[in-house]
Amino acid sequence: MDVEALKAEAGKAACDYVTEGMNVGLGTGSTVKYTILELGRRVAEEGLSIVGVPTSIATRDLALEVGIPLAELDDLDGLDVVIDGTDEFDPSFQLIKGGGAALLREKVVAQSSKRMVVVADDRKQVSTLGAFPLPIEVTPFSYNTTRRAIAKVLGCEVVMRQSGEALLTTDNGNYIADAHTGATIANPVKVEASLLALAGVVQVGLFSNMCDVVVMASGDGITVLTKQD
Ligand code: 5RP
């Protein structure tokens, strides 16, 4: 099975967590795209009534295109569920996110949701986080100073993310620094705290103790992994 088919399978399967009347956080990326397409189909064909809160401009545009009614997070009293992709997840359901540069809004939305459902193919399952370079959103002001400080804290190479010739700018007007830690992040809570202590760091792509369920697609079909409290 090709990767695109696995993404579609996981993305669609996660729609089982959405029921009538829910406020739903809509994640960002090429896997959750299939969730959004399927929710749009259910809204149009089955009359499903939901309100979505997008985690990026790209997701907002897609959700509007497929007819999902949207609201501002500020105008709602929290969300029932967020469905989002991930770049890695470990056995404790800790995540690295931000491959699509949407980590700040994704984290705000995840923290406002009663439940976080992650959609992934089995390439994202790791024993220790960090083979995927850790995305860190930083302020444009003296970003190189922040990049060097991150490198010192983590003891690894840190590279500013480019978009063509320019630095990539996030939906929030910030930059992304990618930290090449290797698969060494055994204690994401500690790593996150040490990075957030740097003034130029806006947010870190470590999502600790947020994910409740992973809907994972592999050649063997869908596996639903549920975190035990
Ligand atoms: C965006 C993200 C994405 O959810 C993550 O990068 C996974 O994306 P994809 O499903 O395309 O692999 O965190 O900031």
Q: Is 200 in the pocket of ligand 1 (CB under 6 A)?
A: no
**pLDDT for 136:** 99
Res 1 pLDDT > 90: no
Sheet containing 201-204, strands listed edge to edge, beginning at the edge strand earlier in sequence:
157-160, 175-180, 134-138, 201-204
Whether 65 is catalytic is no
CATH of domain 3-123+208-219: 3.40.50.1360
Query: Pick the catalytic residue: 106, 137, 157, 192?
Result: 106
Res 229 pLDDT > 90: no
Is CATH 3.30.70.260 correct for 134-204? yes
Q: How far apart are CA 85 and CA 9, in angstroms?
A: 13
The domain segmentation of the chain, as residue ranges, is: 3-123+208-219, 134-204
Q: Is 102 in the pocket of ligand 1 (CB under 6 A)?
A: yes
Q: What is the pLDDT of residues 39-49, one digit of tens each?
A: 999 999 999 99
